[in-house]
Chain A
C-alpha cells in the first residue's frame, strides 16, 4: 500500500499552479451561466411563440445538443470553430476561448428547458391581465411573465449552474487550463498525482456542497414569499 503525502501542497504551490485554473473555472461558469440564461430564454420564447418557423429550429437545436455527450460537443467546437473564424479572418483560438463559446451554446439548451417550464408556470390570468392593460406581447412578456418565471425558477437555475461548474472539468478534453488541470500539472511536477486527484475532489466537493446548501436556503425563503 502506497503512503499518501500531502505536504508538498503548500500555499505557494497552490497559488502558482492552481489559482489560475480555479479563476478560469469560475470565469467559465459565470459567463456560460449568463450567456446560457440569455440564449436559453430566447430559445424558450421561440419554442413558446406559436410560430412553427421559430419553434422547429429552437426545438431541433435543443433536442440535438441534449442528445450528444458534452465531451463530443466540446471536441466538435474545438475542431470546427477555427474553420468558422478562419473564414472571418480572425486569428486562431485558444482552448479557453473555445470552452467559453461551447459552454454558452451547450448550457443554453438546459437553461432553455428550465425557462420554458418557468414561463409555463406563470398563470394564464397574468398574461390576460397584461393584455387587458393594453400591453403588447413584448411588454407582457418582459414586464409581467419573465420576471415571475425567472423568480420561480431561480433555485433550479442555480442548481443547474452547480452542474455547469462540475461540467467545466470536461475542458480536460481540449487541454484548457482549469481547476482540474491546475492540480494535475502540480501533481505531475511534484510526482504526486494521487494526492492531487484526491485534493481536487475535495475542492470540488467543498465548493459544490456549500453552493447547494445556499440554494437550499434560498429555496426555503422563496417558498415563503410565494
Chain B
C-alpha cells in the first residue's frame, strides 16, 4: 500500500487535474464530487425504497390477517415470492427482464432499482405487520365488530393504531438494512456509492477509496436508525413495551 494522497479527492476523475475547489468546482468532476453524488443516490434509493416497502408491506401485512381466504392467500404468496429470491436476482429481473416484457415499465434504472429493493423489503415489513396484528388480543377485533364497525373501520381505528406501534422497533432495523441492501444496486448502472467505490478504486489505491465509502455507509445506516428510533419514541404506547 503506497502512501496515501488525500489530494486525490480534489482531482478530476478524467483529466487527473487538481481542481481549484475540491467540491463543486465548475468544469471539474473531482473524486469528492463523485462520492457525494454516489452517496446522494444511495440515500435516494434507500429512502424511497423504504417508503415503497412500508406502503406495500403494510398493505400486504394487513391482507394476510383478514378473514378472506383469497386475499390472505394473495398476501402469503406475495411474501413468499419476494422473500425467497435473492435481492440481486430480483434487481436483475427488474432491470433486464421487466422493461422488455412490459414496455410500460421501461423506467429509468434508478426507479427500477427502487422498486426492486422496495418490494424485496416489503415482504419483511409484511411479516412484521402481520405479527404485530396477531399479537393483539382477539377480543380487540371482536370488540370493534360488536360496536358495529365495519372490517375496514376496525382495522383503521382499533387494530392498526396499536399494531403499528408494536411493529416499529423491528421496522427500525429494517430501515438500516435497506441502506446496506442498496449497495446491491452496484450490479446495474446506478451510480451509487458501491459503484463509485468500484470505479474509483480502479484508478487509485483502493483503501483510500474504500475507507471513506465504508464510513459513509456506516454513518448513513446509523443516521437512518437514529431517525427511526426518534419516531419509535414519539409514537410509543404509554404503559407497554418498556415505554416510560
Return the CB mask of A154-178 against B: 1 if under 8 Å, else 0. 0000000000001101101100000
B125 contacts chain A at the CB level, 8 A cutoff: no
Residues in A whose Cβ lies below 8 Å from that of B87: 166
Number of interface residues of B (CB under 8 A): 40
CB atoms of B89 and A75 under 8 A apart:
no
CB atoms of A72 and B221 under 8 A apart:
no
Which of these, B86, B93, B194, B222, contacts A72 with CB under 8 Å? B194
Residues in B whose Cβ lies below 8 Å from that of A76: 210, 214
CA of A75 to CA of B201, assembled, Å? 11
Given A170-B184, A208-B85, are A75 and B198 also a contact pair (CB < 8 Å)?
yes
Number of interface residues of A (CB under 8 A): 31
B218 contacts chain A at the CB level, 8 A cutoff: yes
Closest to A83 in B: B1
CB atoms of A198 and B93 under 8 A apart:
yes
Residues in A whose Cβ lies below 8 Å from that of B80: 209
Closest to B84 in A: A208
On A, residues with C-beta under 8 Å from B are 1-2, 4, 67-72, 75-76, 79, 83, 166-167, 169-170, 172-173, 180, 193-194, 197-198, 200-201, 204-205, 208-209, 212
B27 contacts chain A at the CB level, 8 A cutoff: no
CB atoms of B86 and A71 under 8 A apart:
no
Residues in A whose Cβ lies below 8 Å from that of B88: 169-170, 172, 180
Contacts A194-B101, A198-B97, A201-B85 known; list 10 others, CB within 8 Å: A1-B103, A67-B222, A69-B179, A72-B213, A75-B210, A166-B84, A169-B88, A170-B86, A172-B187, A204-B89
Residues in B whose Cβ lies below 8 Å from that of A198: 93, 97
